[in-house]
Structure 1
């Protein structure tokens, strides 16, 4: 004779007779899921509140930072002040390298020395910083034609002392320099001060020979020189 099996979750006879156990069982079945869900939502709410507080604190911190933008102002020995730009602006090329090349450019351009080979090397360095077809190339070629250093070296030498190199903008520079002229026997002929304004640009170089003369690809695209009286 087969016996009918009783479901595993069916209440026992004792549980059916005990009203407290039956009530607890009914409460668990009816409200247990609600209590569990409410607990989970409370955890989510607490985490969301912490995240919101951290976000607000971050916004307050950022808002409290200084909004002032510092500028560097360079003053030369003659009292001329030139704004050098925003202090926190980074440059791909060290400005000291650019200043050095500009100073060398002016010295090579305006100097006159008796050593012909050294003079030729100086002129080569000048042309290594002149792009083809630029206004500066025309101006400087005319200067060398009218004031050939090879011819002038027979009667005088010119030493150049660069006094200041100051940026006017991101591409323009102001250079103050002094020229001292002496006769072949060393007698002082004259001392004159000049101011040059140069416009520059950085361009990549692939020619190996040119890289040796102009390693960072700094080119002078325009130049004007006036005497300071």
Structure 2
């Protein structure tokens, strides 16, 4: 049984990916930061269907938490095959002229530093250079990396732009060590993250401007993530799948 670790796995895209991964035969480590109940519900649903999953609390912005997350996964599930770098945050909609260094540090710590440290730990376990069997890393970026999110989340968009560059560089660094690194760039998806930004109904407000005239579902992103995790995408690395409804 292959093992997948999903950061931010208690809700939205992470939870949908965990559910689909378990149905596809993976044992899943569902990471969460604060929402223990939601993570427990994801694990319970997987277990009820005969799958294997654990919930592990860790704030990926804290290096010691990341180390504990990976060590717990090692002990309870085994050697990692796939990391889904999904956890990320945004804060209230704001213009750059109002932004603070504290806000930038919070967002960059979670959305950039955390993904780097998680990837580092995954490589130590997967790389043939370290005695591993190879594996896959899928970074969850955003269409915002291309669009910039003016008047709303330029800091979030910039953090996702960093993840795009990270994906390209890391993919080349570890390609010969049996690790494929790719990314998905979701657009307007029905998840709770919009409420975190102060506008729970943002998808419905903006969807008419999309070529497809609708928001996306977390399950649609999960399908792309699982394809990138699988051998069906065996010749893809350093690649991006845009999932923005045509935007």
Relative contact order, CA 8 A, sep 6+: which one is greater? 2
Q: Could you say which structure has the higher strand fraction? A: 1
Q: Could you say which structure has the higher helix fraction? A: 2
Q: Larger Rg: 1 or 2?
A: 1
